A and B are shown apart, each in its own frame.
Chain A
Amino acid sequence: MNSIQKNRLKDQLFKFWGIACTLIGLVLLVIFIGGILVDGLSRIDWAFITDLPSRKPEKSGIWTPLMGSIWILVLTAIISFPISVAAGVYLEEYAKKNRLSALLEINISNLAGVPSIIYGLLGLEVFVRIMNLGASVLAGALTLSLLILPIIIVATREAIKAVPSSIRDASYALGASKWQTIWNQILPASSGGILTGIILALSRAVGETAPLIVVGALAYVPFAPQGPLDQFSVLPIQIFNWISRPQQGFIDNAAAAIIILLLITFIMNGIAVYFRNKWQKKLQ
């Protein structure tokens, strides 16, 4: 066998290895989703979505945790969006490249890697106790906002970096100030990337359980929250709660709730992909 044939063989081997690796992930996901669909799909109907929790599995619905999740999602979006985008713009456009900004940068990247339960403890101390918000939707949303801030900041910076410097030059050369350039050119041109980051961060937030348990989200809440200071539960906690019950009926409920949760995440990711494509097309 000469060296060309050897290299070809290596090529082929690596190709099959790659295919196998890709398939492992996919097959596991298909098995998982398949199992859940078998268990849960028959359980999903309108009543399952609109029913309040109950001791009987066939009468239980996900209305309160679903509403809790939506409340959390919306509040988290409202809180984290302005803060993290402003921070990203500052770091990318205004901050001088010196030691302080380098330190900030490293810290933000590190924050993105801090385990979520630590954020839960922070939220418990600062929002629930010191700010006296109690185990409320607002405390939960603030905690999750902290959790996803670094993700959105990093996404914002990447999106801003991707804006061609020629656009910046053109704007400055026409007499625009820094703020006018950022507001009129840089943010619109990077909005797709920023939105993608926000949506991906939020779809992570909607699946978070640990920090919310620490903050005090409950497994059983009789009513959907009416305001930001109400008690709440969220879908992942409801799922966890149902799975730990012995009755098969609750296991099926959990599967059905997982389908709903997956659906929410898929839709959000779909929106993110849509924005990304639209944005890429626009810049080309």
Chain B
Amino acid sequence: MESLFILGTNGKKNYNNTMSEIMTEKTEDPKIETPIEEKYKLQTKDVNVFYGDFQAIKDVSMNIKPRSITAFIGPSGCGKSTFLRLFNRMNDYIEDFKMEGKIKIDDINIYKKKIQLEQLRKEVGMVFQKPNPFPKSIFENVAYGLKIQGIKDKKLIAQRVEKALVQADLWSEVKDNLNKSALTLSGGQQQRLCIARTLAVEPSIILMDEPTSALDPISTAKIEELIYHLKKDYTIIIVTHNMQQASRISDYTAFFYMGELIEFDKTKKIFTNPEKKRTENYITGRFG
């Protein structure tokens, strides 16, 4: 599985192996007794993040199970977005960014030198706070991730685009207008398009950074429903300001405060009987 992120001399070839393919290969192998599904999908250990002198994340360790929805909650500036962006290394572009500790996805340390960011991000998709479609057609938006992988087969691309749009529950609304500019869509549709664009690359983890904060309640409900359905195939981590949203859709909830992970447990437990006083204060709206 090492070869996934590391391009050898013939790097192109590895591009077509998805992690799920390799996962199924491994489970079919009789020598391996514990199927990978039993393991944690994502593990962090003693993670510290610094921006210059400012410490944004303090000693965070957590384990996330595959095919689950984990919500990160906490007041603004608590580090939840920073933490989320560690998983596809989007913080690497920030000047003075420094990371300590270990983050493993499928047991591979994603911060070691040999990691290919392009491969990592194929595996770990991301949906942003504000819908950010490319100023191109709907089709081009979804096909982009495939084209940059060097896929040229038009039929295959068309199939994957349709599949992704169906998965993102957008196909019926746009199937007759695939060549229209993505910017003509409504905000909610644009966000579902961004989800489709992420799904087309077939990642195994999807990171969502407050994906509904710029949307109206109806669009939000649609996207929440969509996220809930995606759980059966994907590991989803969602940052949200909306506590109801966290309690509605997530299996696990992590509460961050001032860069520290205060509490991480089953969502039901966090919202009904939290261990820590600060968690309780936050979820009951006493601060934040």
* Chain B residue, CB-CB nearest to A185: B134
Indicate which residue in A164, A176, A188 contacts B148 across the interface (CB closer than 8 Å). A176
Assuming the contacts A169-B90, A184-B148, A284-B183, asked whether A174 and B132 have C-beta atoms less than 8 A apart, the reply is: no
A173 within 8 A of B: yes
Asked if B88 and A173 sit within 8 Å, CB to CB, the answer is yes
A177 to chain B: which residues have CB within 8 Å?
118, 148
A25 to chain B: which residues have CB within 8 Å?
none
Assuming the contacts A173-B126, A175-B145, A175-B149, asked whether A166 and B132 have C-beta atoms less than 8 A apart, the reply is: yes
B198 to chain A: which residues have CB within 8 Å?
173-174
**Cα of A177 to Cα of B135 in the assembled complex, Å:** 19
Min CB distance A56 to B, Å, is 57
Min CB distance A123 to B, Å, is 40
Indicate which residue in A174, A176, A189 contacts B135 across the interface (CB closer than 8 Å). A189
Min CB distance A23 to B, Å, is 39
Q: Which of A166, A171, A174, A188 has the most CB of B within 10 A?
A: A174
A282 within 8 A of B: yes
Asked if A164 and B145 sit within 8 Å, CB to CB, the answer is no
Interface residues on B, range: 20 to 34
Indicate which residue in B90, B128, B144 contacts A184 across the interface (CB closer than 8 Å). B144
Asked if B148 and A180 sit within 8 Å, CB to CB, the answer is yes
Assuming the contacts A176-B118, A282-B135, asked whether A171 and B144 have C-beta atoms less than 8 A apart, the reply is: yes
Asked if B95 and A170 sit within 8 Å, CB to CB, the answer is no
A97 within 8 A of B: yes
A266 within 8 A of B: no
A118 within 8 A of B: no
Min CB distance B241 to A, Å, is 19
B197 within 8 A of A: yes
Interface residues on A, range: 20 to 34
Asked if A170 and B134 sit within 8 Å, CB to CB, the answer is yes
* Chain A residue, CB-CB nearest to B183: A284
* Chain A residue, CB-CB nearest to B181: A282
B122 within 8 A of A: yes
**Cα of A185 to Cα of B147 in the assembled complex, Å:** 13
**Cα of A284 to Cα of B135 in the assembled complex, Å:** 8
Q: What 1/0 mask marks residues of chain A from 254 to 284 whose CB sits below 8 Å from any chain B CB?
A: 0000000000000000000000000000111
The majority secondary structure among interface residues of chain A is helix
Min CB distance B26 to A, Å, is 23
Asked if B134 and A175 sit within 8 Å, CB to CB, the answer is no
A167 within 8 A of B: yes
B125 within 8 A of A: yes
**Cα of A177 to Cα of B148 in the assembled complex, Å:** 8
A282 to chain B: which residues have CB within 8 Å?
135, 181, 183
Asked if B135 and A175 sit within 8 Å, CB to CB, the answer is no
Min CB distance A145 to B, Å, is 31
* Chain A residue, CB-CB nearest to B130: A166
A184 to chain B: which residues have CB within 8 Å?
144, 147-148
**Cα of A172 to Cα of B132 in the assembled complex, Å:** 12
B261 within 8 A of A: no
* Chain B residue, CB-CB nearest to A283: B135
* Chain A residue, CB-CB nearest to B121: A175
A176 to chain B: which residues have CB within 8 Å?
118, 144-145, 148
Min CB distance A163 to B, Å, is 9
Assuming the contacts A97-B95, A180-B148, asked whether A174 and B197 have C-beta atoms less than 8 A apart, the reply is: yes
Apart from A173-B126, A175-B148, 12 more pairs, CB < 8 Å: A170-B133, A170-B134, A170-B194, A173-B198, A175-B117, A175-B120, A176-B118, A184-B144, A184-B148, A185-B134, A282-B183, A284-B183
Residues in chain B within 8 A of chain A (CB atoms): 88, 90, 93, 95, 117-122, 125-126, 128, 130, 132-136, 144-145, 147-149, 181, 183, 194, 197-198, 201
User: Can you list 26 contacts pairing A with B, beta carbon distance less than 8 Å?
Assistant: A97-B95, A164-B132, A166-B130, A166-B132, A167-B132, A167-B134, A167-B135, A169-B132, A170-B128, A170-B194, A171-B134, A172-B93, A173-B90, A173-B125, A173-B198, A174-B145, A174-B197, A175-B120, A175-B145, A176-B145, A176-B148, A184-B147, A184-B148, A188-B136, A282-B183, A283-B135
